[in-house]
Amino acid sequence: MALAAYEVVINRDAMTVYGFLMDGLNNSLWRSGVRSISLQSGERGQKGAVYQQTLTGPGGRSIAADFRITDARPGAEVRFEVIAGPARPTGGYYLSTEGAATRLRFALEYHPKGLQKLMVGMVQKTMEAEVAQLEQLKAVIESRPAA
């Protein structure tokens, strides 16, 4: 099993941060490995939405990493599952209000089966790098005018 988590405090209210996270098309604004992303099915920014995503994988090759929003609690939580690609972690964004700011935790979890267990070390490093990109998300959100 592989686990990774990271936290930041964003100087915006929880509903602003939540709204940004619920729209999967925003991933390309803060996640450096996203080559392309589009809404495949469902409603943009809604529970059940499926986003088709291509990431930069090992050796620079493209890999599929489509995901589905599985749970959403406004201003508090966004959960998702990766449904395409070699590793299929589940994850979530967990928000809590701290005055006028929002503490955001991004966590990923991967439970490999069979031969996938041989990839756990590489997947762990990738997941740690992925969650650390919350620093970029913070910069992007804080650079936008406050509502």
* Mean pLDDT, all residues of the chain: 93
Has residue 121 got a pLDDT over 90? Answer: no
Residue 112 has what pLDDT? 72
Contacts for 100 with CB less than 8 Å, ≥ 6 apart: 11, 13
Residue 39 has what pLDDT? 97
Q: Is 90 exposed, middle or buried (0-12, 13-18, 19+ CB in 10 A)?
A: middle
Has residue 95 got a pLDDT over 90? Answer: yes
Residue 122 has what pLDDT? 80
- What CATH number is given to the structural domain containing 46? 3.30.530.20
User: pLDDT by residue (tens digit) across 32-81?
Assistant: 999 999 999 999 889 999 999 999 988 889 999 999 999 999 999 999 99
Are β-strands 90-98 and 2-10 bridged in parallel, bridged antiparallel, or unpaired? unpaired
- Identify whether the C-beta of residue 110 lies closer than 8 Å to the C-beta of residue 2: yes
Number of structural domains, the chain?
1
Confidence of residue 118 (pLDDT cuts 50, 70, 90): low
Residue 63 has what pLDDT? 93
Q: Identity (one letter) of the amino acid at 37?
A: I
Residue 47 in 3-state DSSP? coil
Structural domain of residue 129, as residue ranges? 2-143
How far the first Cα of the chain sits from its last, in Å, is 40
Contacts for 5 with CB less than 8 Å, ≥ 6 apart: 105, 106, 107, 108, 131
